[in-house]
Structure 1
Amino acid sequence: MTHQHGTQLAGHVALSLVIPVFNEAATIDLFIARITDVFKEEALVGLEMVFVNDGSTDATLDLLLERQRSDPRVRIVDLSRNFGKEAALTAGLQTATGQVVVPIDADLQDPPEVILQMIALWRQGYEVVLGHRVSRRTDSWAKKTSANWFYRLHNRISDQPLPKDVGDFRLMDRCVVEALESLPESRRFMKGLFAWVGFRTTHVDYERPERVAGETKFNGWRLWNFALEGITSFSTDPLKVWTYLGLFVSLVSFSFAIFIVLRTLITGVDVPGYASLMVAVTFLGGLQLIGIGVLGEYLGRTYIESKRRPVYLVRRVYNPKD
Structure 2
Amino acid sequence: MPQSVAIIIPCHNESENVPLIYQALMKTFQTDLTQLQPQIWYVNDGSTDDTLAQVQHLQDSDAQVHYIDLSRSFGKEAAMYAGLVTAKADYYAVMDADLQDPPAMLPDMYAALQEGYDMAGAQRTDRSGEAPVRSFFSNLFYKFINRVSQTQIVPGARDFRLMTRQVVDAIVHMTERNRFSKGLFSWVGFKTKYLPYQNIERQHGETSWSFTGLLRYAIDGIIDFSDAPLTFVSMIGIISFLGAFAALIFIVIRAALYGDPTAGWPSMVSIFLMIGGIQLFALGIVGRYIGRIYIETKQRPIFIARKIK
TM (normalized to structure 1)?
0.93
Picking from 100, 105, 112, the partner of 1:121 is 112
Q: Which residue of 1 aligns with 2:19?
A: 29
The separation in 1 between residues aligned to 2:162 and 2:2, in whole angstroms, is 16
Moved over 6 A (4+): none
Q: Which residue of 2 aligns with 1:6?
A: none
Structure 2 counterpart of 1:19, from 9, 33, 54: 9
State the distance in 1 between where 2:142 and 2:10 align.
Answer: 24
Aligned partner letter, 1:118: M
Choose from 221, 232, 239 the match for 1:241.
Answer: 232
1:159 to 128, 146, 150: 150
Structure 1 residue matching 2:279: 3-state secondary structure: helix
Is 1:312 aligned with 2:303?
yes
Q: What does 1:34-183 align with in structure 2 at a 5 Å threshold?
A: 34-41=24-31, 42-183=33-174
* Cα deviation digits, residues 35-69 of structure 1 (max 9, x gap): 11222123201111110000111000011101111
Shift of 1:278: 2.4
Distance 1:124 1:12, change over 3 A: farther
Q: Which residue of 2 aligns with 1:282?
A: 273
Q: Report the alpha carbon displacement of residue 107 of structure 1 after superposing the two structures with TM.
A: 0.5
Classify the secondary structure of the residue corresponding to 1:40: helix
What does 1:187-206 correspond to in 2, within 5 Å? 187-206=178-197
Structure 1: which 5+ runs fail to align? Answer: 1-10
User: What is the Cα deviation at residue 13 of structure 1?
Assistant: 3.2
From 208, 224, 231, give the equivalent of 1:217.
208
How many angstroms does 1:110 deviate by? 1.0
| Separation of aligned partners in 2, 1:254 and 1:272 | 19
Q: Which TM-score applies when normalising by structure 2?
A: 0.97
Output the CA distance in 1 between the equivalents of 2:46 and 2:240: 48
Q: Distance in 1 between matches of 2:275 and 2:259?
A: 28
Residues 1:291 and 2:273 are matched in the alignment: no
| Partner Cα distance (1:142, 1:98) in 2 | 40
Give the letter for the 1:22 counterpart.
Answer: H
1:165 and 1:52 map into 2 onto residues whose CA distance is 24
The one-letter code of the counterpart of 1:32 is: Y
Deviation of 1:293 (Å)? 0.4
User: How big is each residue's C-alpha offset from its partner over 1:89-142, in whole Å with a ceiling of 9 and x where there is no partner?
Assistant: 000111222211110001001111011100011111100111111111122112
| 1:277 to partner: Cα distance | 2.0
Query: Given residue 157 of structure 1, which amino acid in structure 2 is its aligned partner?
Result: V
Identity %: 38
The separation in 2 between residues aligned to 1:151 and 1:90, in whole angstroms, is 23
Instruction: Report the secondary structure of 2:277's partner residue.
Output: helix
AA partner of residue 149 (structure 2): S
Q: Is this contact kept in 2: 1:111–1:208, CA < 8 A?
A: no
Quick one: which amino acid aligns to residue 7 of structure 2? Answer: L
How far is 1:229 from its partner?
1.0
1:177 is aligned with what amino acid? V
1:133-177 deviations in Å (ceiling 9; x for gaps): 111112211211111111111111112111110020111111000
Give the Å deviation of 1:297: 0.2
**What secondary structure sits across from 1:265 in the alignment?**
helix
Q: Quick one: which of 219, 226, 242 aligns to 1:251?
A: 242
Q: Distance in 1 between matches of 2:264 and 2:257?
A: 19
Q: CA deviation at 1:308?
A: 0.6
SS at match of 1:14: strand
Q: Deviations over 1:160-218 (max 9, x none)?
A: 11111002011111100001111121221111111110001111111121111111000
* SS in structure 2 at match of 1:98: coil
8 Å CA contact 1:50–1:95 kept in 2: the answer is no
**Counterpart secondary structure, 2:262:** coil
What SS does the corresponding residue of 2:186 show, helix, strand or coil?
A: helix
Once the two structures are TM-superposed, the CA of residue 243 in structure 1 deviates from its matched residue by: 1.8
Which amino acid is the alignment partner of residue 281 of structure 2?
Answer: I
**RMSD, matched Cα:** 1.2
